[in-house]
Amino acid sequence: MSTLMVLVIVIAIAAAGYFIGRQRAVSKEGGNVKPHSLPHYHGWWVFLASALPAILFIAVWAAGTGVYLERSAIAELPPRTADTVIASQSLELGMVSGIARGLDRLSDAERANLPQTFAELQPLLANKGVALATEGQDYMIPIATEWNRNTAWASRIGGIVAIVLALAGAVFGLSGVHVRARARNNVERVILGALIAASAIAILTTIGIILSMLFQTITFFQSVSPSTFFFGTVWDPRFAAAGSGGSQGQFGLIPLLAGTLYIAFVAMLFAVPVGLFAAIYMAEYASRSVRSVVKPLLEVLAGIPTIVYGFFALVTVGPFLRDLSAALSGGYAFIQAQSVLTAGIVMGVMLIPFVSSLSDDIITAVPGSLRDGSLGLGSTKSETIRRVVLPAALPGIVGALLLTASRAIGETMIVVLAAGVAANLNINPFEAMTTITVKIVNQLTGDLEFNSPQTLVAFALGLTLFFITLAMNIFALYIVRKYREQYE
Partner 1 sequence: MTDIALNPAAPASARPARRDIGLKRRYAAERRFKLYGITAIAIGLFFLVALMYSVFSNGYTAFWQTEVNLAINLDPKIIDPDNKRATDPNVLLTANYPILARNALAEKLGVPATNKPAMRELGKLFSEGVRGQLRDLVVANPSLIGTTQSVWVLTGADIDSAFKGQIDLTVDQTRRKVSDQQVEWMNKLKGERAMSQRFNTGLFTYGASSRPETSGLGVALIGSLYMMLIVLCLSLPIGVAASIYLEEYAKKNRLTDIIEVNINNLAAVPSIVFGLLGLAVFINFFHMPRSASLVGGMVLTLMTLPTIIIATRAALRAVPPSIRAAALGVGASKTQMVFHHVLPLAAPGILTGTIIGLAHALGETAPLLLIGMVAFVANSPVTPLDPSTALPVQIYMWANEAERAFVERTSGAIIVLLIFLAVMNITAIILRRRFERRW
**For residues 172-211, which are near partner 1 according to CB under 8 A?**
184, 188, 191-192, 194-199, 201-203, 205-206, 208-209
Virtual torsion, Cα 5, 6, 10, 15, nearest 10 deg:
0
Nearer to partner 1, 125 or 409 (CB): 409
Does position 4 interact with partner 1 (CB under 8 A)? The reply is no
Does position 474 interact with partner 1 (CB under 8 A)? The reply is yes
Nearer to partner 1, 225 or 382 (CB): 382
Does position 341 interact with partner 1 (CB under 8 A)? The reply is no
d(Cα 402, Cα 365) in Å, to the nearest integer?
A: 19
Does position 123 interact with partner 1 (CB under 8 A)? The reply is no
| Smallest gap from residue 469 Cβ to partner 1 (A) | 6
| Smallest gap from residue 163 Cβ to partner 1 (A) | 26
Q: Which of residues 364-383 bind partner 1 (CB under 8 A)?
A: 380-383
d(Cα 336, Cα 317) in Å, to the nearest integer?
A: 11
Do 172 and 49 form a contact (C-beta atoms < 8 A)? Answer: yes
251 DSSP β-pair partners: 235
Candidate ranges 101-109, 151-159, 298-306, 321-329; the one touching partner 1 (CB under 8 A): 298-306
Q: Which of residues 450-469 bind partner 1 (CB under 8 A)?
A: 450, 458-459, 462, 465-466, 469
3-state DSSP assignment of residue 251: strand
- Residue 238 has a CB neighbour count (10 Å cut-off) of 12
What letter represents residue 205's amino acid?
A: T
What letter represents residue 117's amino acid?
A: T
Closest among 221, 249, 233 to 454, alpha carbons compared: 249
Nearer to partner 1, 255 or 310 (CB): 310
Q: Which of 160, 315, 327, 377 binds partner 1 (CB under 8 A)?
A: 315
What letter represents residue 25's amino acid?
A: A
Closest among 350, 363, 352, 347 to 397, alpha carbons compared: 363
d(Cα 13, Cα 7) in Å, to the nearest integer?
A: 10
Nearer to partner 1, 56 or 308 (CB): 308
250 DSSP β-pair partners: 236
| Smallest gap from residue 187 Cβ to partner 1 (A) | 8
Does position 386 interact with partner 1 (CB under 8 A)? The reply is yes
- Residue 388 has a CB neighbour count (10 Å cut-off) of 18
d(Cα 83, Cα 440) in Å, to the nearest integer?
A: 34
Within 8 A by CB and 6+ apart from 40, the residues are 22
Q: Which of 64, 123, 226, 305 binds partner 1 (CB under 8 A)?
A: 305
Q: Which of residues 15-54 bind partner 1 (CB under 8 A)?
A: none
Does position 298 interact with partner 1 (CB under 8 A)? The reply is yes
Nearer to partner 1, 82 or 288 (CB): 288
Does position 120 interact with partner 1 (CB under 8 A)? The reply is no
Do 314 and 343 form a contact (C-beta atoms < 8 A)? Answer: no
Q: Which of 67, 126, 307, 328 binds partner 1 (CB under 8 A)?
A: 307
Does position 281 interact with partner 1 (CB under 8 A)? The reply is yes
Nearer to partner 1, 148 or 216 (CB): 216
Virtual torsion, Cα 79, 81, 85, 90, nearest 10 deg:
50
Does position 264 interact with partner 1 (CB under 8 A)? The reply is no
Binding mask 390-429 for partner 1 (x = CB under 8 A): -------------x--xx-xxxxx--xx------------
Cα 15 from chain centroid? 36
- In 151-281, which ranges are E strands? 235-236, 250-251
| Smallest gap from residue 31 Cβ to partner 1 (A) | 21
Does position 304 interact with partner 1 (CB under 8 A)? The reply is yes
Does position 285 interact with partner 1 (CB under 8 A)? The reply is yes
d(Cα 454, Cα 220) in Å, to the nearest integer?
A: 9
Does position 324 interact with partner 1 (CB under 8 A)? The reply is no
